[in-house]
Structure 1
Amino acid sequence: MFKDLFIRKTLAELELQADGDHNSLKRHLSALNLTLLGVGCVIGAGIFVLTGTAAALHAGPAVALSFIISAFGCLLAGLCYAEFSSMIPVSGSAYTYGYATMGEFVAWIIGWDLILEYLFGSATVAVGWAGYVTSFLADLGIVIPPSMCQSPFIFDHTGWHSSGAFINFPAVFIVAIMTTLLVIGIKESAKFNNIIVLVKVTVILLFIGFGISHINVSNWHPFVPFNTHDIRNYDWSNFEFLGFTKYLAADSGRFGWSGVLTAAAVVFFAYVGFDAVSTTSQEAINPKRDVPRGILFSLLICTVLYIAVSLVLTGILNYKYLNVEAPIALAINSAGPSLAWLRPIIKIGAIAGLSSVVLVLLLGQSRVFFTMASDGLLWKSFAKTHSKFKTPHITTIVTGSFAALFAGLFPIGLLGEMVSIGTLLAFVIVSIGIILLRKSEPDAVRGFRTPWVPFVPILGALVCFAQMASLPGDTWLRLIIWMLIGFVIYFSYGRKHSHARKNAKR
């Protein structure tokens, strides 16, 4: 009864699909283009926004270690992505890989999970964009009322609170603009992306270079702030079993080494986008060689930049004050008049960079919807393209509407956690998929081979799952609810209309 849940697309079928894509897409991306594409997707809200949030709420200055932990998990997953992309040069990324290795039901889980990643990712970046725009306009004497530029809700370790605001209008505005551009048919060329990356990286290097002289080393002490709920700090004279249990469970992700791990899971969002390199395999000049290089080189560059920024940021301003939507702008303001000239440059760079990330994430979200609908797993209307603009306008509008809703109502920390758990789940499944593909297709041609299989995939899955486990329980609950909604859609519609299942019955 459930055997057909795991019907797979064969590599031969995917190769035919790749040949079809090749007829309409030009292979013009070099290894440099692919690397810069990865950097362009990764350098965004993670470095301009979540660095401060993770430091203030979880890890303190040790957020630099959190970035290293997340980068290690990304490297392991990236090696698996590299092998897949060299074998299956078609769109769909992890969704397509899952279809080829573990079957339709698992592919659905990954696809639905990717929707979570891109949907909440675009909303998170939009909130970060709003923070920098609000700060930049304030420098020009234009003040947006707090009620119109903040989330109506606040979510912290004590629970939910009302901020008194009505809506984060700038966040809704940028999502609406990017959605409109995507419907019209905006095309980002590799050259345009290279320029955006140059601007963003230049701004980051300016912050690092000129910020070093303003570091107050005392802000790094203690480097790993004490966890007030650490067992070593417990007053054993007042030991009570039930109280002790509650004590251990409460707030375990705030500071200490548990906080470093929690922050690693939260800032994992900062690396969202490197997997986008794998979706461009069909447009790479030499995908077997260049896509793996693009994935790994972009990860290396971004990790170095993240570590440097987190150290300078927490060195300039004490981590306790960094739980804001524009932490780098706040740090520059606190540095005094000597860095005043850098304020507008940093903010313009952040605004430009975050704008492109919102666009790319919305683009990725709509394409995942479109691919799943083309396979029959979602409604036919989602697979339609605009008669004039030739874009998947329905999926784009639906995506933009929900992203705008989330960006306008919810705080950035909550949104970032949802993106992190969605991405981590996709990486776990991709890592396991490599092991299965080695067994099911041992003789298939591989342009790149993940080293030390099964050790690397198993370790990658374990590291990513460990970071998932470090996320707050509420985040897991929201993931479960999201997946249950997906299961209802799949079993009520997708399973009945699957093209792969219909083809298998012929």
Structure 2
Amino acid sequence: MQRAAGGGGPGWLRDLTRTKPVDQIVAEGGHGEGGELKRSMGLLQLTMFSVGATLGTGIFVVLGEAVPLSGPAIVVSFVLAGLTALFSALSYAELAGTIPVSGSSYSYTYATLGELVAWVCGWCLLLEYAVSVSAVAVGWGQYLNELADKTIGVTIPAALSSPPGGGGVVNVPAVAVVLLATFLLLRGTSESATANTVMVFLKVGVLVFFCVVAFIAFRAGNLTPFAPLGIAGISAAGSKVFFSYIGFDAASTAGEEARNPRRDLPLAILLSLGIVTLLYVAVGLAAVAAQPWREFEGAEASLAMVLDEAAGVPWPSAVLSLGAVIAIASVVLTVLYGQTRILFAMARDGLIPRIFMRVSPRTAVPAANTVIVAAFVSLLAALVPLGRLADATSIGTLFAFALVNVGVMVLRRTRPEMPRSFRAPLFPVTPLLGVGFCVYLMIRLDVATWTVFVLWMLVGLAAYFAYGRRHSRLRRAEAAAGERA
């Protein structure tokens, strides 16, 4: 059994840098004092979880921001962003197959970089998951309104579809989609996975429908000049569309509910990234071939604009709105799921209260955890204009990605003999590139986003020293072992 390791120096420093033994993490996987999770998910469900978390509002709105930067070369920008995500995906795939537990990058960093870094990573994931799902839920109401207006000519009053400060009183649709996802999650993992798989197939079908309609209006002249703004424009657009790839790591939060995690988790992560990249490239090509690239400037609903022009009738854009409604519901479901499983792992380690690790004996899901997270997300989505806070989810995600890439390199050095079901190729080039691209994209974010991120980190560190460090199970176990010695 690998022993817990910590840095030298004072006791407090050893506390902060102690790593949790990989063998212990794996042995604890699937159960804890609060009960056991149930292994019910196969490769298809895991892949659809990652696709479901990734394929959301981004592709429906991002072209209006990215195409003016790159022109028709947006297809190259999507490939560039996909390759950037791939470096981190390879690291996630290796660690998911080696440490197949629910904590995702939180657990990976606990095994490789120490308790304090793991806490910081978990805190970043809280920002990524909880805040982003709130922002996504807010967007759901807007698309629902658009769909209702196009199909039955009815819209929800602004007072009930926007938060205070955004022209309304309470955002009822945002709460409704969170409650729907919560209902599915509380029924059981298998039921949630089935519902998500159906929704993913539907939203993929809608994007394929978009490509078919848009390609009918294909104009070769719209693709020339192909890169009017050069390499700089392609790179700038790549940075914009990269954030449409966030979510491919969702399968790694299901490590303790996968039937064959060592085989299926790496495959699910890489397959989902491949599926999403293929869809994005096809949608981007169809859009710029059907519409002159300069007309995308300032278009918020860029795909709907393309369909309106290509088809000449309103019903195809109504189908697209339906796809957006389904896409966002799927994102809410999968991201809520991921958040609860990360909190489950943190609670099992004693870093947050034990209520988050209690598993329902009937449904084999962390029910109290799910209800608490859903209540927090619902309040945030219903009452708070998210603004810059939602933008900060990107920086938290990139920070977690960078830590996973570093973790792969550390574990290769400290545990080279450990069996790995998947190995990142061209090591250490790929994880080093993963770190480099993440740092590059973080640097490109604005000062306001960095300010929110730093403030969030300060709050997280205060919470760790006030609660997490004192209640750490690993720290207590080491203290008890020292007393016996």
| Residue among 481, 485, 493 paired with 2:455 | 481
By how many angstroms is 1:185 displaced?
A: 5.4
> 1:404 deviation in Å?
3.2
The answer as to 2:42 corresponding to 1:29 is yes
Query: C-alpha displacement at 1:469, in angstroms?
Result: 1.3
Take 2:375 and 2:458, find their aligned partners in 1: how far apart are those partners? Answer: 22
Which of 199, 205, 209 aligns to 1:206? It is: 209
Given that residues 65 and 297 in structure 2 are in contact (C-alpha distance below 8 angstroms), is that contact kept between their aligned partners in structure 1?
Answer: no
- Cα-to-partner distance string for 1:346-402 (whole Å, 9 max, x where unaligned): 222321232121111112222222321221111334344569876544443443344
Identity %: 38
1:141 is matched with which residue?
153
**Counterpart position of 1:460:** 434
- 2:272 is aligned to 298
Name the CA distance, whole Å, in 2 between partners of 1:127 and 1:69. Answer: 29
Partner of 1:440: 414
The one-letter amino acid of 1:308's match is: A
Would you say how many aligned residue pairs link Structure 1 and Structure 2? Answer: 463
Rounded Cα–Cα distance in structure 2 between residues aligned with 1:142 and 1:28: 40
- Residue pair 2:189, 2:365 contacting (<8 A) in 1 also: no
- C-alpha offsets along residues 393-446 of structure 1, whole Å, 9 cap, x if unaligned? 444344334433443467787465322212111110000111110111111111
1:320 aligned to 2:294?
no
- The AA in structure 2 aligned to 1:332 is L
Deviates further, 193-202 or 446-455: 193-202
The match for 1:495 is: 469
Pair 66,418 (structure 1): closer, same or farther in 2 beyond 3 Å:
farther
Task: Tell me the SS of whatever aligns to 2:244.
Answer: helix
Q: What's the counterpart of residue 11 of structure 1?
A: 22
SS at the partner of 1:435? helix
Kindly indicate whether residue 15 of structure 2 is the aligned counterpart of residue 41 of structure 1. Answer: no
Contact 1:45–1:124 (8 Å) recurs in 2: no
Q: Does 1:97 align with 2:108?
A: yes
Residue deviations 1:143-164 (CA, integer Å, cap 9, x gap):
23345445666xxxxxxxxx64
1:111-157 per-position Cα deviation (integer Å, ceiling 9, x unaligned): 1111111112212322332222111111111023345445666xxxx
Does 2:307 align with 1:329? no
Deviates more, 1:280-289 or 1:421-430: 280-289
- CA distance in 2: counterparts of 1:314 and 1:303, whole angstroms: 17
Matching residue's letter, 1:489: A
Q: Is the 8 A contact 1:80 1:450 kept in 2?
A: yes
| TM-score, reference length from structure 2 | 0.84
Question: What does residue 449 of structure 1 align with?
Answer: 423
34-43 or 393-402: which moved more? Answer: 393-402
Shift of 1:74: 1.4
Amino acid at match of 1:329: A
Tell me the CA shift for residue 99 of structure 1: 0.7
Residues 158-216 of structure 1: per-residue CA shift (max 9 Å, x gap): xxxxx645554422432244345545657535444332222111111110111123356
- Show CA shifts across 1:39-68 (max 9, x none): 233222222344445556x66655444432
Structure 1 residues 366, 258: CA separation in 2 closer, same or farther (over 3 Å shift)?
farther
Contact 2:37 2:256 in 1 (8 A): no
Amino acid in the other structure paired with 1:26:
R
Give the whole-Å Cα distance in 2 for the aligned partners of 1:95 and 1:394: 21
User: 2:36 touches 2:359 (CA, 8 Å); kept in 1?
Assistant: no
Deviations 1:279-301 (A, max 9, x none): 33444444333322222121111
**What is the CA–CA distance in structure 1 between the aligned matches of 2:432 and 2:310, rounded to whole Å?**
45
Q: Secondary structure at the match of 1:364?
A: helix
1:351 corresponds to: 325
What is the aligned partner in structure 2 of residue 188 from structure 1?
Answer: 191
Equivalent position to 2:343, from 369, 379, 386: 369
- RMSD (Å), alpha carbons: 3.2
Instruction: Report if the CA contact (8 A) 1:269-1:416 is conserved.
Output: no
> Are residues 123 and 49 of structure 1, via their aligned partners in 2, closer, same or farther at CA, if it must alter by over 3 Å?
farther
Deviations 1:323-360 (A, max 9, x none): 3xx4433443344534x332332222321232121111
In 2, are the aligned partners of 1:386 and 1:393 still within 8 Å (CA)? Answer: yes
Gap regions ≥5 residues in structure 2: 1-11, 481-485
- 1:309 paired with 2:286, answer no
Give the distance between the partners of 1:445 and 1:10, measured in 2 at CA: 15
**Residues 387 and 25 (structure 1), Cα distance of their counterparts in 2 relative to 1, 3 Å cut:** closer
- Alignment CA distance shift 1:171-1:264 (3 Å): farther
**Residues 65 and 240 in structure 2, CA contact (< 8 A), matched pair in contact too:** no
CA pair 68-418 structure 1, distance change in 2 beyond 3 A: farther
Q: Return the letter of the residue paired with 1:141.
A: G
- Which piece of structure 1 moves more, 119-128 or 450-459? 119-128
Give the whole-Å Cα distance in 2 for the aligned partners of 1:62 and 1:383. Answer: 47
**What residue identity is the alignment partner of 1:14?**
I
Partner of 2:129: 118
| CA distance 1:54–1:380, shift in 2 (3 Å) | farther
1:271 match: secondary structure:
coil
Cα deviations by residue, 1:240-261 (Å, 9 ceiling, x for unpaired): xxxxxxxxxxxxxxxx866755
Report 1:421-440 matches (<5 A).
421-440=395-414
**Quick check: 2:64–2:297 contact (8 Å CA) kept in 1?**
no
Amino acid across the alignment from 1:106: V
- Match of 1:466, SS state, is helix
Q: Decide which of 287, 290, 315 is 1:341's aligned counterpart.
A: 315
